[in-house]
């Protein structure tokens, strides 16, 4: 089995250079074309693949935890006349369909995390595009607060996917263009079908960029704008203390992913896996930052994030995941309370990371069944969010009522999903008063399986006579259904409530982009993506559907 390494460190970066200078950090794209994620293509013109994005995600996270003094992040490039030419087309052409969609999903999650840093951590971001900014490169720029483009008569921003590749800007470009930057849709139509893009004054007038700057004044203009953004940063964002993100020390084999608090066991014959998350093994520390990245609230969720990514990319044949927890429910709730009461910037970043990981869980194209079938089951507080985010929650009724769930401050609204609703809010979208009922009941103590079903927390609660058979049949039935249909169904049902930029993006990745990538006009023998870089022109099937 292929094992993808999602964990990295600035000392091992091949494609980015991260430098800090007081309150301003610079993240410079310097793609090494000889170190692609897989052999078979070169990363020319600062084009990117999964290896480039893994490093980008790591850098954004490390700035937030290890460099809390930074108030502005400048995202730029090492090449003189190219910021980023987008996702490597030859990589896309040789990749499986599933990898392409997962790659787009991971890339956009990273973009959203950059926006999350600006909105919830006060980290201003400036894209300094000193050259060609195309496709995914422009999408990265759009994820920043502001975009500067060099005005040299040649440099343009562009979305060439539709005219050149017969696909779409697959990591949120279309949505950010009209929803975030509020570009008029008729202008957006022209822009997205003009392969060479738009440059100079028109790019500024159409709000495709915020500033255009002559090459002769570039360095001074970037430095000045970064300083302005730094001074404008909201003063109510606590900073630090700085905490280094230590290694996860995972053990990865063909049939198991093992970490300190997370374990994934794989059943290839049943096309299923079991995800186990362990609660804390000690009381909540009085000084959270003192434990650094080993504090349970941070380490367990970093491990969960790594495991979810491995499931996505390395185990496409696994369609069904049961989710279990083990530990002391009171300890989980105590850690949640300690984190919520801590006013430090470190505590805020831990909670935000937990929220991002739970959103990654929501966004995972696998059927997720939470299962509480042991007396040490630990769906409490932040771990209860896993059960609420799962497609179904099965609970065993035991005579002593030791199998139970518990709520904490973690369930009171901070861990919002991509739609902006809490998971309890999404669960009771049609009966919002039930959220307060559940939270109020949770203050009284553990909630048994039978009561959890009555309150609407559990999907099904059954006694030991029926439970094992009911769960087994449910898993077998799920595994027999079309994975494609399930992916679309689950993505539609999980994004309950109002539509947001994120739900639009991921809905399209689960449905429209997924569909377009399989069409002959893009990836067929004479499709545009297949023939890119060759002398032959694509041969389209002209029927509209």
Q: Mean pLDDT across the stretch 262-266?
A: 98
Res 380: pLDDT: 98
Task: Report the b/e string of 94-109 with b at 16+ CB within 10 A.
Answer: ebeebbbbbbbbbbbb
What angle, 0 to 180 degrees and rounded to 10, lies between the N-to-C axes of helices 345-362 and 329-341? Answer: 130
Question: Are 411 and 422 spatial neighbours (Cβ–Cβ below 8 Å)?
Answer: yes
Residue listed under structure tokens 């893994």: 54
Confidence of residue 134 (pLDDT cuts 50, 70, 90): very high
Res 234: pLDDT: 67
Give the list of residues 6+ apart from residue 489 with CB closer than 8 angstroms, or none.
none
Res 236: pLDDT: 72
* Burial environment of residue 214 by CB neighbours within 10 A (0 to 12, 13 to 18, 19 or more): exposed
Cα–Cα distance, 111 to 176 (Å, whole number): 11
Q: Which of 88-97, 291-300, 481-490 has the highest mean pLDDT?
A: 291-300
Q: Which fold has domain 10-232?
A: 2-enoyl-CoA Hydratase; Chain A, domain 1 (3.90.226)
Q: Phi, psi (5° rounding) for residue 375?
A: -65, -20
- Per-residue model confidence as pLDDT tens digits over 407-437: 999 999 999 999 999 999 999 999 999 999 9
Residue among 344, 459, 354 at smallest CA distance from 409: 354
Res 2: pLDDT: 77
The DSSP call for residue 22 is T
Cα–Cα distance, 393 to 287 (Å, whole number): 34
Res 328: pLDDT: 97
Res 169: pLDDT: 84
Residue among 356, 293, 326, 289 at smallest CA distance from 121: 356
Q: Which fold has domain 251-485?
A: 2-enoyl-CoA Hydratase; Chain A, domain 1 (3.90.226)
Residue listed under structure tokens 């006060």: 122
Average of per-residue pLDDT values in the chain: 94
**Is the pLDDT reported for residue 250 higher than 90?**
yes
Angle made by CA atoms 170, 176, 179, in degrees to the nearest 5: 135
Task: Report the b/e string of 180-210 with b at 16+ CB within 10 A.
Answer: eeebeeebbeebbeeeebbbbeebbebebbb
- Per-residue model confidence as pLDDT tens digits over 491-540: 889 999 999 999 998 888 887 777 888 889 998 999 998 989 899 999 99
**Is the pLDDT reported for residue 261 higher than 70?**
yes
Three-state DSSP class for residue 507: helix
Give the list of residues 6+ apart from residue 383 with CB closer than 8 angstroms, or none.
277, 279, 325, 332
Count CB neighbours of 18 within 10 A. 19
* Region of 40 on the Ramachandran plot (φ > 0 left; ψ -120 to 50 alpha; else beta): left
Rg over CA atoms, the chain:
24
Cα–Cα distance, 451 to 397 (Å, whole number): 10
- Per-residue model confidence as pLDDT tens digits over 115-127: 999 999 999 999 9
Q: How far is CA 62 from CA 187, 200, 342, in A?
A: 37, 34, 20
Q: How far is CA 171 from CA 156, 235, 362, in A?
A: 19, 32, 17
Every domain of the chain and the residues it spans: 10-232, 251-485, 488-531
Count CB neighbours of 446 within 10 A. 17
| The total number of residues written for the chain in this structure | 545
Res 508: pLDDT: 82
Q: Mean pLDDT across the stretch 67-89?
A: 95
Q: Phi, psi (5° rounding) for residue 19?
A: -135, 140
Angle made by CA atoms 309, 106, 99, in degrees to the nearest 5: 80
Cα–Cα distance, 222 to 207 (Å, whole number): 18
Q: Which of 227-241, 253-267, 478-492 has the highest mean pLDDT?
A: 253-267
Give the list of residues 6+ apart from residue 119 with CB closer than 8 angstroms, or none.
none
Cα–Cα distance, 88 to 438 (Å, whole number): 48
Q: Count of alpha carbons within 13 Å of 233, Cβ hemisphere only? A: 26
Q: Count of alpha carbons within 13 Å of 509, Cβ hemisphere only? A: 28
Give 186-254 as a 3 state SS string.
HHHHHHHCCCCCEEHHHHHHCCCCCEEEEHHHHHHHHHHHHHHHHHHCCCCCCCCCCCCCCCCCCEECC
Q: How far is CA 484 from CA 99, 103, 266, 272, in A?
A: 14, 17, 21, 16
Res 102: pLDDT: 92
**Is the pLDDT reported for residue 17 higher than 70?**
yes
Percent of the chain past pLDDT 70, that is, above it, reads 99
Asked which of 170-179, 247-256, 305-314, 350-359 is least confident by mean pLDDT, the reply is 170-179
What is the pTM (predicted TM-score) of this model? 0.95
Cα–Cα distance, 278 to 262 (Å, whole number): 6
Cα–Cα distance, 441 to 384 (Å, whole number): 15
Q: Mean pLDDT across the stretch 156-170?
A: 90
Q: Mean pLDDT across the stretch 327-334?
A: 97
**Is the pLDDT reported for residue 545 higher than 80?**
no
Q: Quick one: which H or E segment has residue 541?
A: none
- Per-residue model confidence as pLDDT tens digits over 473-500: 999 999 899 998 998 899 889 999 999 9
């Amino acid at each position: 089995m292929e094992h993808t390494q999602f964990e990295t460190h600035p000392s091992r970066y091949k494609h980015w250079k991260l430098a800090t200078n007081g309150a301003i950090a610079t993240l410079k794209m310097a793609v090494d074309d000889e170190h692609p994620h897989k052999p078979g293509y070169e990363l020319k013109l600062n084009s990117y693949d999964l290896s480039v994005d893994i490093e980008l995600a790591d850098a954004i996270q490390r700035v937030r935890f290890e460099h809390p003094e930074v108030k502005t992040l400048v995202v730029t490039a090492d090449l003189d006349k190219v910021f980023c030419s987008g996702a490597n087309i030859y990589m896309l052409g040789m990749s499986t369909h599933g990898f392409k969609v997962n790659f787009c999903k991971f890339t956009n999650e990273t973009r959203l995390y950059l926006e999350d840093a600006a909105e919830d951590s006060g980290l201003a971001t400036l894209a300094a595009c000193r050259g060609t900014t195309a496709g995914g490169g422009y999408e990265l720029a759009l994820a920043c607060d502001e975009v500067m483009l060099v005005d040299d008569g040649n440099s343009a921003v562009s979305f060439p996917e539709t005219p050149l590749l017969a696909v779409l800007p697959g990591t949120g470009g279309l949505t950010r263009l009209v929803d975030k930057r509020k570009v008029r849709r008729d202008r957006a139509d022209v822009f997205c079908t003009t392969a060479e893009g738009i440059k100079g004054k028109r790019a500024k007038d159409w709000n495709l960029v915020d500033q255009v700057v002559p090459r002769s004044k570039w360095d001074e203009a970037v430095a000045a704008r970064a300083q302005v953004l730094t001074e404008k940063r909201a003063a109510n964002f606590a900073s630090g203390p700085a905490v280094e993100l230590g290694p996860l020390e995972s053990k990865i084999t063909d049939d198991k992913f093992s970490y300190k608090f997370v374990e994934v066991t794989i059943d290839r014959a049943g096309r299923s896996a079991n995800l186990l998350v362990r609660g804390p093994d000690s009381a909540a520390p009085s000084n959270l930052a003192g434990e650094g990245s080993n504090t349970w609230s941070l380490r367990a969720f970093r491990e969960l994030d790594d495991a979810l990514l491995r499931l996505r990319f390395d185990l496409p044949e696994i369609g069904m995941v049961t989710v279990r927890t083990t530990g002391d429910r009171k300890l989980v709730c105590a850690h949640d309370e300690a984190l919520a009461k801590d006013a430090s910037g470190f505590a805020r970043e831990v909670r935000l990371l937990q929220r991002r990981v739970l959103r990654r869980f929501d966004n995972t194209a696998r059927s997720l069944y939470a299962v509480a079938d042991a007396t040490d089951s630990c769906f409490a507080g932040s771990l209860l969010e896993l059960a609420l985010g799962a497609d179904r929650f099965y609970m065993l009724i035991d005579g002593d009522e030791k199998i139970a769930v518990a709520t904490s401050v973690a369930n009171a609204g901070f861990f919002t999903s991509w739609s902006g609703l809490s998971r309890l809010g999404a669960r009771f979208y049609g009966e919002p008063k039930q959220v307060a009922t559940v939270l109020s009941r949770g203050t009284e103590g553990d909630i048994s399986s039978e009561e959890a079903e009555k309150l609407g927390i559990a999907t099904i609660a059954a006694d030991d006579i029926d439970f094992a058979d009911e769960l087994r049949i449910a898993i077998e039935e799920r595994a027999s259904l079309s994975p494609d249909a399930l992916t679309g169904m689950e993505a539609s049902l999980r994004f309950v409530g109002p539509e947001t930029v994120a739900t639009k993006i991921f809905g399209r990745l689960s449905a429209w982009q997924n569909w377009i990538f399989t069409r002959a006009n893009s990836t067929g023998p004479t499709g545009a993506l297949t023939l890119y870089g060759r002398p032959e022109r694509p041969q389209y099937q002209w029927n509209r559907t």
